[in-house]
Structure formats: structure tokens, C-alpha cells
């Protein structure tokens, strides 16, 4: 009965998304006109491919944006290493993620934009790429995608699965619950971000036997190689900063600039040589912020404008190597959801964050459990006091830096290996290898004929 109700709700959803498809097409063109979609590859969002499908087995990894996409890369590399016979397709939805991830993926990975969850786009995408398995990252639970994959016999996995409190409440609504229950029943494997998230999936009636917890995949995203040239450039730039007091505010959101500009102005009264590195979450926010600071008389260099202030890189992980102190934004205003602290910890920064960290609260708690000094959570009004303490007391600063790095290594060790073992057993052995069985069966039938 529950399955029939879920099917009925899905039919309504599919009909609605079919009806609004023309409006979605217009909205996509409007986003392209405003520069929010890739100017040349925006049609991929409608299921129109821009690359040929290779022969053989193909695994599709899908993430919504940058953080989730970066979390998938270690798994993709492991997959290609362990199963070189398998092709990998990676998709994301945002142009900002595309510009970063395309340079980090192995050269033999196909990278496309993901289709919108409208029937025509999803059906066209699945028909062209014909994936053997789909790996969805975190919260990418879309009805047309999931039901379309299941209808075509494609194995489904949810990696680092999570949902916000609001999403969980919405999915739990009596009208919607049959749909999410139906969709979760189509998965072969669910690997939640935390045990609490695993419980949430069970409360939404996901089969308990498909839920396994290997650890938070985002703890492993800092393990990226860096070229010899980039290393030399970073070291030279670090040498230039060695005589200055440096701290950094990363991934800040609109509204938080008041916290960090205020902190910079107060810190400058005591430390005249201070250098504050601010990395906004959105590029446009950086331009607005630079204009505001110049109006206040501050000396500002803007990386996106081409000012020579960083060693030829725009990646956050490299900025973290320039500073001993990293304050993670998106956490100082009520309603914020935080950002990943793993990269800052891996770089050996003293990690500071606000109290509004959303689903990253699990990562913060786990790191603090390993070492209480690894992550310091403070309200905005205490930020100046904390940074001043780090500047004035080298031993305290080093204790926090060492603690953060130790906690990161303790949590990240073996996550990808554990995850691969689960994928290999539940997906590759049972689903991907089925192609081999089918080929043998076809061969036997041909020989008999």
C-alpha cells in the first residue's frame, strides 16, 4: 500500500515537472544570460551531451556544487585505480564548481553538467550515457533521476548522505513521506555523513540493511597533490609574509563582513603590520567588499581583478598554507550552515569557527573529541580576543595548529579505503560485474545456436 501511494505521488511530481519544463527552459536561458550558467555548455543541463560515451562500463558520480564535488574526487581516484576497466562520468550543477573541479579530476574522467530534474532532461541523459551505477553525493535526492535510474536497472548509491533539519521535516510530511520512502527503497547502498543522519534515513523508512557508516568523506578532501612549481611559489610567498601578522577569514557570507572588517580594524590598532586575507564565498561579494574597504581608507588587493597578491592560485586549500590562523565563515550569523574545516586543519591552521555550523557540527564535534584544541568555536564579538591571543602567544597558537592537524589525520585515515570496500562489495561485485555475467550468458546462447 505504501509503495502504491509513493508511486501515485511520484506520478503527480513527474506530471508537474513535465508541465513546467518550458518555464524551466526559459529560466535556464535567463541564468545563462546573467552569467550564472556556463556560456558554452549550458545545454548539458537539458540532457544534451558535449562528449562521446566511451564503450564499456560507466559509473556516474553526481554532486551539486564545489564542496560535494571535491569530496567525490578521492573516491573517483580510488575507483579508477582499483577498477581501470571502468569509465567515470562526473557531474555538478554550478559553474563555480566546474571551474575548480575540472582541474582536479584525473584526465580520463568525463566531466559534464548535471541534467535538471525534468523528465526530458533526465530521460535524455540516462538514454545517452547508460550508466551502470550512480553515486549521488550528500543530498542530491531527485525523484525523476532516482526513479529513472531504477526503471533502467541502474544501481544507486548515496555517498555522505545527509539532509538538513528542514528537509527532514519536509520529507516526513504525511503527503511526501510515501515518495521519499519509495525513492530510498531504490538504493543499493546508503553511506550517511554521520550515525545521526543514518537514523534519519531509517526514520524515513530506508531499508536498514543498506545503511553503513564509513566516516565523513569531506574529511578526506584535503589530500590533493600539489605541483613542484606551485610548492616553490607558495614557499616564496610565505617567505615574504614571514615578518607580518597574518590571519584569514574564508568562505564568508554576506553580512559577515561586518564581523571581519570590524575585527581587522581593531587588530590593526595593536598590530600595524597585520595582513587580513578575506575569501568570500561568492566572487561578486569580494568586489563589493573591496569597494567598501577602499571607501573606508583601507589598502585592498583583489585577486579576481588580477592584483598580484597570491602565488598564482585561486584555490582555497593553497590560501590555507599561507596563514597560521583560519577563521571559517558561514558560521557567525544565525541561520548559517557552516563550511568544511578539513582543508584548514590539514594545512596546519589554528581553526576558528562560529557557532552556526549546520551539518558540519558533526565534523566539529568529532575533531574536538580527538583534541579539544583542534577547533575553537566563538561568537563574533570574541573573535578579536582570540586572534590577539594567537598573535601574542606563539605556544598557544602552535598548540592549536598541531591539534587541528592531528585531529584531521585521525579522522581522515582510512575513510576512502573503507568506503571503497563497501562500494566494491555492494555495487561493483553485485551490479557492475553483472555485465560480465550477461556477456557470458549471451556468448553461451550464441554458441548453442
- Residues carrying an active site annotation: 68
Q: Which residues pair with 376 in a beta bridge?
A: 352
Cell readout for 43 is 545545454
Alpha helices in 83-142 (DSSP H): 95-101, 119-129
Q: Which residues contact 40 (CB under 8 A, 6 or more apart)?
A: none
Separation of alpha carbons 379 and 440, rounded Å: 63
Give the number of other CB atoms < 10 A from CB of residue 43.
16
Give the number of other CB atoms < 10 A from CB of residue 153.
9
Cell readout for 332 is 557567525
Cell readout for 24 is 524551466
Q: Which residues pair with 92 in a beta bridge?
A: 113
DSSP state of 162: -
Phi/psi of residue 15, nearest 5 degrees: -65, -45
Separation of alpha carbons 8 and 405, rounded Å: 50
Q: Which residues pair with 136 in a beta bridge?
A: 62, 158
Separation of alpha carbons 272 and 264, rounded Å: 10
Indicate the burial class of 324 (C-beta count within 10 angstroms; 0-12, 13-18, 19 or more). buried
Separation of alpha carbons 213 and 422, rounded Å: 10
DSSP for 373-396, please give it: TSEEE--GGGHHHHHHHHHH-HHH
Indicate the burial class of 360 (C-beta count within 10 angstroms; 0-12, 13-18, 19 or more). buried
Q: No. of H helices and E strands in the chain?
A: 19, 11
Phi/psi of residue 92, nearest 5 degrees: -135, 180
- Say whether 428 sits in a helix, a strand or coil: helix
Q: Which residues contact 324 (CB under 8 A, 6 or more apart)?
A: 246, 247, 348, 349, 350, 390, 397, 401
Phi/psi of residue 436, nearest 5 degrees: -60, -40
Contact between residue 159 and residue 210 where contact means Cβ atoms under 8 Å apart = no
Distances in whole angstroms, Cα of residue 421 to Cα of each of 100, 269, 429: 28, 54, 10
Amino acid at each position: 500500500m505504501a509503495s502504491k501511494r509513493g508511486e501515485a505521488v511520484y506520478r503527480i511530481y513527474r506530471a508537474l515537472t513535465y508541465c513546467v519544463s518550458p518555464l524551466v527552459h526559459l529560466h535556464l536561458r535567463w541564468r545563462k544570460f546573467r552569467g550564472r550558467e556556463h556560456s558554452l555548455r549550458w545545454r548539458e543541463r537539458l540532457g544534451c551531451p558535449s562528449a562521446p560515451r566511451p564503450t564499456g562500463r560507466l559509473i556516474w558520480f553526481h554532486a551539486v556544487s564545489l564542496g560535494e564535488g571535491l569530496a567525490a574526487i578521492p573516491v573517483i581516484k580510488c575507483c579508477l585505480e582499483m577498477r581501470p576497466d571502468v569509465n567515470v562520468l562526473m557531474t555538478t550543477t554550478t559553474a563555480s564548481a566546474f571551474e575548480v573541479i575540472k582541474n582536479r579530476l584525473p584526465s580520463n574522467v568525463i566531466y559534464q553538467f548535471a541534467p535538471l530534474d525534468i523528465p526530458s532532461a533526465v530521460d535524455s541523459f540516462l538514454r545517452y550515457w547508460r550508466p551502470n551505477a550512480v553515486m549521488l553525493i550528500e543530498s542530491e535526492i531527485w525523484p525523476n533521476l532516482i526513479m529513472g535510474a531504477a526503471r533502467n536497472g541502474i544501481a544507486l548509491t548515496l555517498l555522505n548522505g545527509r539532509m538538513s533539519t528542514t528537509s527532514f521535516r519536509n520529507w516526513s510530511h504525511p503527503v511526501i513521506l510515501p515518495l521519499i520512502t519509495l525513492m530510498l527503497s531504490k538504493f543499493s547502498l546508503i553511506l550517511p555523513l554521520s550515525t545521526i543522519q543514518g537514523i534519519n534515513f531509517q526514520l524515513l523508512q530506508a531499508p536498514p540493511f543498506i545503511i553503513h557508516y564509513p566516516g565523513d568523506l569531506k574529511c578526506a578532501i584535503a589530500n590533493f597533490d600539489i605541483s613542484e612549481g606551485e610548492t616553490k611559489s607558495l614557499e616564496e610567498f610565505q617567505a615574504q609574509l614571514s615578518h607580518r601578522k597574518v590571519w584569514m577569514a574564508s568562505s564568508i557570507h554576506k553580512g559577515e563582513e561586518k564581523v571581519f572588517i570590524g575585527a581587522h580594524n581593531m587588530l590593526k590598532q595593536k598590530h600595524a603590520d597585520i595582513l587580513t586575507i578575506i575569501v568570500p564565498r561568492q566572487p561578486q561579494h569580494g568586489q563589493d567588499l573591496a569597494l567598501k574597504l577602499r571607501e573606508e581608507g583601507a589598502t585592498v588587493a583583489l585577486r579576481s581583478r588580477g592584483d598580484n597578491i597570491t602565488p598564482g592560485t585561486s584555490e582555497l586549500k593553497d590560501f590555507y598554507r599561507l596563514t597560521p590562523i583560519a577563521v571559517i565563515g558561514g558560521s557567525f550569523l544565525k541561520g548559517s550552515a557552516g563550511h568544511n574545516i578539513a582543508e584548514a586543519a590539514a594545512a596546519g591552521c589554528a581553526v576558528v569557527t562560529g557557532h552556526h555550523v549546520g551539518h558540519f557540527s558533526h565534523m566539529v564535534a568529532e575533531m574536538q573529541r580527538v583534541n579539544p584544541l583542534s577547533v575553537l568555536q566563538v561568537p563574533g564579538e570574541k573573535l578579536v580576543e582570540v586572534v590577539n591571543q594567537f598573535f601574542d602567544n606563539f605556544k598557544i597558537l602552535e598548540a592549536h595548529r598541531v591539534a587541528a592537524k592531528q585531529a584531521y589525520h585521525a579522522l581522515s585515515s582510512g575513510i576512502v579505503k573503507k568506503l571503497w570496500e563497501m562500494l566494491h562489495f555492494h555495487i561493483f561485485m553485485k551490479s557492475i560485474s553483472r555485465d560480465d555475467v550477461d556477456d557470458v550468458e549471451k556468448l553461451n546462447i550464441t554458441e548453442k545456436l
